[in-house]
Structure 1
Amino acid sequence: MTGLAAASARPGRAPHAPPEDLTQVELVWIEKQVEHWIRFGREVREQVLDRRRRILLFPPGATFALVRWAANEHGTVLSRLDILRAVAPGEACQTIPTVTPGGDILLRVDGWPKVERMLQHIDAIETIGIDPLEVAPDHWRHVHNRFAVCEMPRAYTMQRHRAFLLARRIGA
């Protein structure tokens, strides 16, 4: 036995627990029906299940953006973007479809107009030379709260990023 099957067969583990206590994200791609993808994030492992499905594994503390879209014969039925932090074993987390065991939700937007605005916000952060997975978690929470009340979030600037990195370095 290898891979996910071996990991979940270990004594004391839940049947579908991610190996080595990593957060697993199942991605599905059925053109124009169900499309899940990672907008940013750095997985430590990937397992291809078949030509339409794969699993990405993220270590505790890793930040990643998961985009989920689905449609039927009448049009779009789901557009969602979640920015999540992978949790450590035993850490409290929220459940998210396709994410095992779940994650710390830093941001969630629903509906294509908000998802599109959020993708543009991520693009703007990359444009100034910052990797979105290095952005301060509090910024993603700020953006989530501003989007929730239909307000524009503050831009994430290089100055804010430097302040976050300095605070993280000194343990504040």
Structure 2
Amino acid sequence: MRVTRSGEPYQTVPFVRPGGESLLRQSGWPKVRLVLEAVDRIEAIGIDPVDVAPDHWRHLHNRMLAGQASRPYTRDRHHAWLRRRAVS
């Protein structure tokens, strides 16, 4: 989940008030394990998963739903995200 700013649309989720933007949602141990492995790979390159580009989590979610491999999140992708975020 990503916290939304005032005035942005959001989804309601139990126990999250008022709600947020869902970036990645999976259920069932095999899919959850794949998400946790993706988080581990991100941490292994020294990036806090909280700081990862929201687009990467959406990408991972959509690829998992389609049963396809996702692109790895790299330091180069992360630095590009940080530059885009600084401009906006």
The alignment's TM-score, normalised by the length of structure 1, stands at 0.49
- Alignment-derived partner of residue 86 in structure 1: 3
1:90 Cα shift? 3.5
1:95 Cα shift? 1.2
- Alignment-derived partner of residue 161 in structure 1: 78
Tell me how far apart the structure 2 counterparts of residues 167 and 97 of structure 1 sit (CA, whole Å). 32
Tell me how far apart the structure 1 counterparts of residues 87 and 56 of structure 2 sit (CA, whole Å). 19
Tell me how far apart the structure 1 counterparts of residues 87 and 19 of structure 2 sit (CA, whole Å). 29
| 2:60 counterpart of 1:143 | yes
- Alignment-derived partner of residue 102 in structure 1: 19
Structure with greater Cα Rg: 1
1:89 Cα shift? 3.2
Amino acid at match of 2:45: I
1:100 Cα shift? 1.1
Q: Write 1 or 2 for the structure with the bigger share of helix.
A: 2
Q: Write 1 or 2 for the structure with the bigger share of strand.
A: 1
1:123 Cα shift? 0.7
Unaligned segments of structure 1, at least 5 residues: 1-83
Tell me how far apart the structure 2 counterparts of residues 114 and 92 of structure 1 sit (CA, whole Å). 27
The alignment's TM-score, normalised by the length of structure 2, stands at 0.93
Aligned pair count?
88
Tell me how far apart the structure 2 counterparts of residues 95 and 152 of structure 1 sit (CA, whole Å). 29
Tell me how far apart the structure 2 counterparts of residues 91 and 166 of structure 1 sit (CA, whole Å). 23
1:25-55 deviations in Å (ceiling 9; x for gaps): xxxxxxxxxxxxxxxxxxxxxxxxxxxxxxx
| 2:35 counterpart of 1:118 | yes
Tell me how far apart the structure 2 counterparts of residues 98 and 150 of structure 1 sit (CA, whole Å). 29
